Chain A
Amino acid sequence: MSRVAPETLRPLRVRAPAPARKLWNGLVIALCTLCAALILLPLALIVGHLLARGLAGLTLGFFVHLPTPVGEPGGGMANAIVGTFILAGLASLMAVPVGVGAGVWLAEYGRGRLGGLVRYTADVMSGVPSIVVGVAAYGLVVVPMGRFSALAGSVALALLMLPTIIRSTEEVVRLVPRSYREAALALGAPQWRVIQQVVVPAASGGIVTASLLALARAAGETAPLLFTALGNRFWSLRIDQPMASLPVYIFDYAKAPYEDWNRQAWTGALVLLIMVSLVSGLLRLTTRRLPRR
């Protein structure tokens, strides 16, 4: 057992770091702060330009009128706005039940190897480019039906929504306190009633939020609709016919060589941003507990 003689102990002196290290420290902190400040720039620029160029066209007519031919002033994107709602709604009808079911299963029973595999597959699926999903939906629905249709577009959107809904549902179901389950089980409820009548209702707010977020994201997608729902310059509510959607309209109008159409594209983009980003922003603000995506 060795003991240090008291005289060898020097009083502890706290030295300031050498100037070079201090400089490096300041530099690193400044650079990181600068990065964070730089991130704010694109959002401000994009929102600013959208407002500057799109706000003028944001009239009631934009929401209630059909598109007009080139050169004819006025006209709106009423059919595209309704179309976007129909496409996204149909997609949710397909994706939400499956996604919520799979998410609940992952949270409640997905501890084994199969659960891990499902989770990993969903994660990898969420990275599949939307244009590839569009090509798949083309082969899956458009080719057998023999024409472009709203149904094909919503199948593509549903495939895109599915992984998001699964993973978010799993996270929110996991957040339900264990004591809820234990209390229900202690009262003699069988497992399925515990899940169906205690756990899922407790998580329902989060599940709805997760589904709406996925819906908002899908509503902004353009690529998978280009050759599935195609587009339509007229009113059409039939799901077996081509259907207009806001993103595809914006794309077509932005590419067009007509000033007036470009202006309308800006207005359309502003409306889309308000629909999509505002919804998801508000949802995020009101529900802190949802996992970030």
Chain B
Amino acid sequence: MSTALTAGAAASPMRPATARRRLSRLADQVHQRALGATALLVFLAVGLIVFEVVRGSAPALGTLGWRFLIGTEWDPVADHYGALPYLFGTLVSSALAMVMAVPLGVGTAVYLAELAPPRVGAVVAFVVELLASIPSIVYGIWGLFVLAPFLRSLVEPWLIAHLGFLPLFQGFPFGIGMLNAGIVLAVMVVPTIVSLAREILLAMPGSLREAALALGATRAEGLGVLLDAARPGILGAAILALGRALGETMAVTMVIGNTNRISASLLAPGSTMASVIANEFTEATGQLYLSALTEIALVLFALTVVINALARLLVLWTTGGRRDVAGSA
């Protein structure tokens, strides 16, 4: 809009174009270009990240090839690198987190968008924002010193005693492990789901709810109609949260146990792609070792970028390209 206005002013017949006006138009262009150049730096920043990660992992890509992704042996001494246990750990811990976080997050979002009295809603929304602002390391220390003993002494023995017939709950109650990581991750990504799903619900046309209520629907049935319309966007919010969970590093590193085994049990310790990088990168001696860790970063990067791009598209699609909603998470 403002650009159009300037164009009009520049073509105004009131005054002939003087040198000063030409100068002013030049200044406008220079200003716009300069601002535009800073915007283009975003591409440079992303490009540098991609370039460095790809360059760093080139030796491992060349030497190990596809075996890297399916190998289960991680032996830096013998220069054998297989990243499957880490891929597995990342996927399992994130999936576990999503199982807990999605229902909790969507329920809270519905409460905030539709049910809450304004004052209560404001308090809950504020708490959710605070939760999002807590540094990862603080979640980690809490998971390690508070949640782990609690799981070890109470929850996990109970699970083993009562649900131990399932392979999911067999083994020894360590306290740290997949279950702990899943719970901590769930708490960490819930704010993402809540704030985005809430924005999406608020962006839905009010006529949906009104029509449902006018037809005699109960409040819950009206919510059903609303959720139906918002479904792709809420799916997007969940996928975005999944992206966060996949890349989360510090908290997971502290509570997952850091062993490179693949176990069916949720009580067993494991590792994720992010946690192995955090644990071993500074100590990695040898070019191939460092390169293998960088390749894990590359895989993680590719995974999160694809997931994020997909989630953003879903959210944009549901909200009809409303920038404020898409930008809110």
Number of interface residues of B (CB under 8 A): 106
Q: Quick one: which of A122-147 are within 8 Å of B by CB?
A: 122-125, 127-140
What distance in Å separates the Cβ of B5 from its nearest Cβ neighbour in chain A? 5
What distance in Å separates the Cβ of A229 from its nearest Cβ neighbour in chain B? 11
Which chain B residues border A276 with CB–CB below 8 Å? 133-135
What distance in Å separates the Cβ of A233 from its nearest Cβ neighbour in chain B? 15
A254 to B140 Cα, complex, angstroms: 9
What distance in Å separates the Cβ of A282 from its nearest Cβ neighbour in chain B? 11
Report if A124-B146 is in contact (Cβ < 8 Å); known contacts: A24-B220, A226-B278: no
Report if A17-B246 is in contact (Cβ < 8 Å); known contacts: A140-B52, A223-B278: no
Q: Are B142 and A101 in contact (CB under 8 A)?
A: no
Report if A171-B300 is in contact (Cβ < 8 Å); known contacts: A46-B142, A135-B281: no
Report if A34-B107 is in contact (Cβ < 8 Å); known contacts: A131-B278, A132-B49, A185-B5: yes
Q: Are A131 and B42 in contact (CB under 8 A)?
A: no
Q: Quick one: which of B135-162 are within 8 Å of A by CB?
A: 135-142, 144-146
A227 to B277 Cα, complex, angstroms: 10
A124 to B24 Cα, complex, angstroms: 37
Q: Are A254 and B146 in contact (CB under 8 A)?
A: no
Which chain A residues border B137 with CB–CB below 8 Å? 220, 222, 247, 250-251, 254, 269, 272
**Which of these, A115, A216, A222, contacts B250 with CB under 8 Å?**
A222
Q: Are A102 and B41 in contact (CB under 8 A)?
A: yes
What distance in Å separates the Cβ of A97 from its nearest Cβ neighbour in chain B? 7
**Which of these, B41, B112, B249, B308, contacts A223 with CB under 8 Å?**
B249
Interface check A281, CB cutoff 8 A: yes
Interface check A25, CB cutoff 8 A: yes
A133 to B124 Cα, complex, angstroms: 32
What distance in Å separates the Cβ of B83 from its nearest Cβ neighbour in chain A? 14
A135 to B305 Cα, complex, angstroms: 16
What distance in Å separates the Cβ of A217 from its nearest Cβ neighbour in chain B? 7
Q: Are B194 and A273 in contact (CB under 8 A)?
A: no
A34 to B308 Cα, complex, angstroms: 29
Report if A128-B135 is in contact (Cβ < 8 Å); known contacts: A43-B130, A281-B129: no
A17 to B247 Cα, complex, angstroms: 47
Interface check A106, CB cutoff 8 A: yes
Which chain A residues border B132 with CB–CB below 8 Å? 293
Q: Are A46 and B304 in contact (CB under 8 A)?
A: no
Which chain A residues border B17 with CB–CB below 8 Å? none
Q: Are A222 and B136 in contact (CB under 8 A)?
A: yes
Q: Are A32 and B111 in contact (CB under 8 A)?
A: yes
Q: Are A42 and B56 in contact (CB under 8 A)?
A: no
A78 to B127 Cα, complex, angstroms: 30
Interface check A120, CB cutoff 8 A: yes
Interface check A10, CB cutoff 8 A: no
Interface check B62, CB cutoff 8 A: no
Which chain B residues border A60 with CB–CB below 8 Å? none
Of B30-38, B72-80, B167-175, B262-270, the stretch lying at the interface with chain A is B30-38
Looking across the interface, which residue of chain A has its beta carbon closest to that of B2?
Answer: A181
Q: Are B327 and A38 in contact (CB under 8 A)?
A: no
- Over the window 83-108 of chain A, the binary record of Cβ atoms lying under 8 Å from chain B Cβ atoms (1 yes, 0 no) is 00000000000000110011011101
Q: Are B124 and A40 in contact (CB under 8 A)?
A: yes
What distance in Å separates the Cβ of A32 from its nearest Cβ neighbour in chain B? 4
Report if A121-B135 is in contact (Cβ < 8 Å); known contacts: A31-B107, A36-B112: no
Report if A101-B34 is in contact (Cβ < 8 Å); known contacts: A35-B103, A127-B308, A131-B247: yes
Of A1-9, A65-73, A189-197, the stretch lying at the interface with chain B is A189-197
Q: Are A190 and B27 in contact (CB under 8 A)?
A: yes
Q: Are A25 and B221 in contact (CB under 8 A)?
A: yes
Interface check B110, CB cutoff 8 A: yes
Which chain A residues border B219 with CB–CB below 8 Å? 25, 28-29
A127 to B28 Cα, complex, angstroms: 34
Report if A139-B195 is in contact (Cβ < 8 Å); known contacts: A108-B35, A129-B301: no
What distance in Å separates the Cβ of A268 from its nearest Cβ neighbour in chain B? 9
Q: Could you name 12 residue pairs across A and B whose Cβ atoms are closer than 8 Å?
A: A25-B220, A29-B115, A127-B304, A136-B52, A191-B28, A226-B278, A254-B141, A266-B141, A266-B145, A273-B134, A280-B129, A285-B126
Which 10 A-B pairs have CB atoms at the shortest separation, nearest pair first?
A129-B247, A220-B135, A35-B107, A101-B38, A192-B31, A127-B308, A139-B52, A28-B220, A105-B35, A25-B218
Additional pairs, 20, CB under 8 Å, beyond known A17-B216, A137-B52, A250-B137: A33-B115, A35-B105, A40-B124, A50-B138, A105-B35, A118-B42, A125-B42, A129-B246, A130-B249, A131-B249, A131-B300, A136-B52, A220-B133, A220-B135, A222-B249, A226-B278, A265-B141, A269-B137, A276-B135, A291-B328
